[in-house]
Amino acid sequence: MAVEKRREGETIVLRLSNGPVNALSAGNGFVDQIAAAVDEAAGDPACRVIVIAGAGRMFCGGADIGDFDGAPTQVSRVRDVIAAVEACEKPVIMAIHGMALGGGLELAMAGHYRIAQAGSRLGLPEVTLGLLPGAGGTQRLPRLIGAGAALDMMLSGKPVTAEQAASSGLVDRLVDGDVVEAALEVARGAPPLRRTGALPVPVDLAEAVDARRAKLRAGLSQAPARIVDCVAALSDDLAAGLALEARLFGELMRSEASRGLRHAFFGERTVARIPGLAADVRPRDIRRVGVVGGGLMGTGIALALLNAGVPVTMVELRAEALSKAEAAIRKTIQRDVEKGRIGQDAADARMAAFTPATELEALAEADLVIEAVFEDMGVKKQVFSALDAITRPDAILASNTSTLDLDAIAALVADPSRVVGLHFFSPANIMRLLEVVRGRDTAPDVLATAMALGKRIGKVGVVSGVCDGFIGNRMFEEYLRQVYFLLEEGALPQQIDAAMERWGMAMGPCRTMDLAGHDIGWAIRKRRAVEQPDRPYSGVIDRICELGRFGQKSGKGIYVYPDGRTAQPDPEITRLIEDYSAEIGLQRRAIGDEEIVGRCLLALVNEGAHILEEGIAYHPVDIDMIYLHGYGFGRERGGPMFQADLMGLPAVLDRLRALAAGRNGWAWTPAPLIERLAATGGRFGDLDFQDGNAQ
């Protein structure tokens, strides 16, 4: 951590050096070092110009998000150093390479001249954290590039290229070579002071504000609306605009949405680290992957791999099904060409990396094989027994099972240490979650390889232990149990779905199951009836399945689908549900949205606590990331365990006990972990589970 200083004639070059992203950290004193270095250079009579650049691979990745939960003065110190740069009486040239994001770009905009290296990227991504640019970005960016372009940049949170920045006026000069040398060249010409905050209010202000305000959508995060408010307040009084920006930033920082989004930001980094894994464990080199099964899931997995540049051999024993899978893969890749996402050369390369085969022997030289056949233990055991004989002894064998016992599958292999679970979520080429299941004997380097492959193909990998349903589906089962009980007690599918979607789920549970298909769930419930007779489901969902209504794929499920895609309530299902309630002697009652959301959420929380205590998940945040990336849980809501902390675990425990005293109370027995944490004032967020044990 340092601000490196060197003198070049009458110019002082300050290089920011604070970790891999040069974060503007106030908590560790780095921001104060920048302020001191700028002040010293400004007071040096031999210095005429100051150049600020970044060491390492980027100019600055932005403010340290960890500071946001610290004392408010930490954020204020970032604002102070930016203001000091702009007020400097000597020209300050910003030499930008790599990335200038968030507070890093706000620092750059306070400079009097900006030079960017070709290929670098500049952006204000604060909206993705439920925040607004809080160090002058809302007041300075519109003055540089116009209100409309500035609003688009801040509301999307997406960075622009250096070339786009030069075209818009965000940077003054674009260079191909060394950006510091280019800055020194400009310094020798004694550039004039040009303070961004003194530039005039953009002429398109009113029109741009009205247009963007009209497009705002309702949501938990108020960041987009507050960004528009800040830009609307632009005037010749910069101080007033900065004061409004700082006040609104503080309000947003304390909001549930921003806290949830920041939780997700850190959570994605936490789950990438495997607790207890020795530092010298390295992932294996994966050059070719085999996929067994050409159905919907196998096709999606193959696409995910091909899109990341991983060669794939797909084995589907039925030639007709293999041809169908290959056609689907080709069609999807070509659609990316038509939409401008990739070029034709890239599409051709992806198809060239795809090898279809109808014999398992084609996988003899694969480095890793992913089984994606029907969710039936007998079928999977046959596949793994065959793969054990065909593949190289050092090849990794992975199962895409969503519920079955991975250890039982691994027992069919002579060396079970090479078996791991890779549970993709459908559609596998789109959904970001990858549950990486560690078996009892899974080797550490096999687990590391699975996580590395997930990252390579753009997935958020989360490690789960072995249990029925692993983390995600085991919890989802309890969620659905309450959904089906709610149906028989008085709610209707469209009410449940609307309540959960308004709260923040991407799709309500009934529509979700119609999309996924009820046949697999029905088979699981039949198995559960034998294995867990003391944990019954509502029979209403089975009555629907008995009619052959398996969801969107059959044209009918809980809803009907006249156009094959759009769910519409069906009076026949309403009658079926009402008749079932009468059949079991249950008087239907009015059920409010609050009860629907509360019961669904508490079912997830309680089961999640059981999973943590059993060591199936390493951290509470693992559960949250699974639900954000695999089950459509609203990112702004942070995840079920995060929500439990917001409610307060004593309140969660009280609600669980109240529900346990009512109908089907057996399903609400509080997890012992919740009881312990509630008694001690603990939070899930304070827990750090290492190898399944609370530390």
Centre a 10 Å sphere on the Cβ of residue 301 and count the other Cβ atoms it contains. Answer: 28
For residue 517 the two structure tokens come to 């298909």
Cβ distance 619 to 662 under 8 Å?
A: no
Could you say which of 126, 245, 268, 316 is catalytic?
A: 126
Cβ distance 444 to 418 under 8 Å?
A: no
Which among 271, 99, 91, 122 has a CA at the least distance from the CA of 196?
A: 91
Q: How far apart are CA 98 and CA 254, in angstroms?
A: 31
Structure-token match 């590391």, residue found: 448
Give the type of residue at 90: K
> Please, which residues have CB within 8 angstroms of residue 251's CB and are 6 or more apart in sequence?
226
Which among 68, 71, 113, 115 has a CA at the least distance from the CA of 96?
A: 115
DSSP string, 447-487: HHHHHHHHHHTT-EEEEE-SSTTTTHHHHHHHHHHHHHHHH
Could you say which of 86, 106, 477, 636 is catalytic?
A: 106
Which among 63, 189, 42, 43 has a CA at the least distance from the CA of 115?
A: 189
Q: How far apart are CA 398 and CA 389, in angstroms?
A: 15
DSSP string, 48-117: -EEEEEESTT-SB--B-GGGGGS-HHHHHHHHHHHHHHHH-SS-EEEEE-SEEETHHHHHHHHSSEEEEE
Q: Write down the H helix ranges in 271-422.
A: 296-307, 319-338, 344-352, 377-390, 406-410
| Catalytic annotation present for 501 | no
Say if residue 101 is exposed, middle or buried (CB neighbours under 10 Å; 0-12, 13-18, 19+): buried
> Please, which residues have CB within 8 angstroms of residue 172's CB and are 6 or more apart in sequence?
113, 114, 115, 166
| Catalytic annotation present for 578 | no
* DSSP state letter for 294: -
Say how many CA atoms lie within 13 Å of 370 toward its Cβ: 31
Give the residue numbers marked as catalytic: 106, 126
